């Protein structure tokens, strides 16, 4: 009787262990692969968009795969955006062979004329995209501006900056993006 009890306890234990292992495998299999899931967060694929720019061309992230992209959300009336603008322009001129900047103007809360004047004043030589409906800003869950996303060659968001930082830290983010594979 005692042997039967021990065998039953061992069988129940092994069954419970097998069920537990199977449960862990199912949970792991159902977990999203962050690199393939699209979300405006670090470690996830950056959401794609198609926006017309001040130069008349339409730009999208899909067309930039293979080259790092910095997506900067801003408005002409934003004080921190004005502070950051000369640094972005200078760093772009320095690193433009290795990356692209998409400056997404929140035109739904600004004007195209003000965006154009801002880009000319600060010497933007990169595409200035017009988000005249809040679709792209909403897609990226942008609330305070400036907000900047750093997207690597594979389309994955590797860094995010809400607000501004000092020029050296911003340049470090540029360098890190370029070296990130």
Does pLDDT of 3 surpass 80? Answer: no
Closest CA to 124 of 72, 159, 89: 89
Half-sphere exposure of 152 (CA within 13 A, CB side): 17
- Segment 42-68 mean pLDDT: 94
Q: Give per-residue pLDDT as tens, 105-124.
A: 999 999 999 999 999 999 99
Return the pLDDT at 96: 96
- Segment 139-157 mean pLDDT: 96
Strand partners, 51: 59
Tokens of 168: 């050296």
For the chain, what is the HEC assignment? CHHHHHHHHHHHHHHHHHHHHHHHHHHHHHCCCCCCCECCCCCCECCCCEEEECCCCEEECHHHCCCCEEEEEECCCCHHHHHHHHHHHHHHHHHCCCCEEEEEECHHHCCHHHHHHHHHHCCCCCCEEECCCCHHHHHCCCCCCCEEEEECCCCEEEEEEECCCCHHHHHHHHHHHHHCC
Return the pLDDT at 18: 52
Return the pLDDT at 26: 41
Does pLDDT of 17 surpass 90? Answer: no
The more confident residue out of 157 and 13 is 157
Question: Maximum distance among all alpha carbons in the chain?
Answer: 91
CB-based burial, 131-161: b 16+ in 10 Å, e otherwise = bbeeebbeebebeebbbbbbbbbebbbbbeb
Does pLDDT of 16 surpass 90? Answer: no
């Amino acid at each position: 009787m005692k042997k039967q009890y021990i065998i039953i306890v061992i069988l129940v234990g092994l069954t419970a262990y097998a069920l537990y292992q199977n449960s862990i495998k199912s949970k792991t299999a159902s977990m999203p692969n962050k690199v393939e899931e699209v979300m405006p967060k670090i470690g996830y694929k950056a959401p794609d968009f198609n926006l017309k720019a001040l130069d008349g061309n339409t730009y999208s992230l899909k067309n930039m795969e293979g080259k790092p992209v910095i997506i900067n959300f801003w408005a002409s009336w934003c004080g921190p955006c004005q502070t950051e603008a000369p640094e972005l322009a200078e760093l772009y001129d320095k690193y433009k062979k290795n990356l692209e900047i998409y400056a997404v103007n929140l035109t739904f809360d600004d004007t195209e004329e003000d965006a154009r004047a801002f880009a000319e004043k600060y010497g933007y030589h990169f595409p200035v995209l017009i988000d005249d409906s809040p679709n792209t800003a909403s897609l990226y869950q942008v609330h305070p501006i400036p907000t900047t996303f750093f997207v690597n060659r594979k389309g994955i968001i590797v860094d995010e900056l809400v607000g501004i930082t000092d020029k050296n830290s911003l340049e470090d983010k540029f360098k890190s993006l370029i070296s990130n594979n």
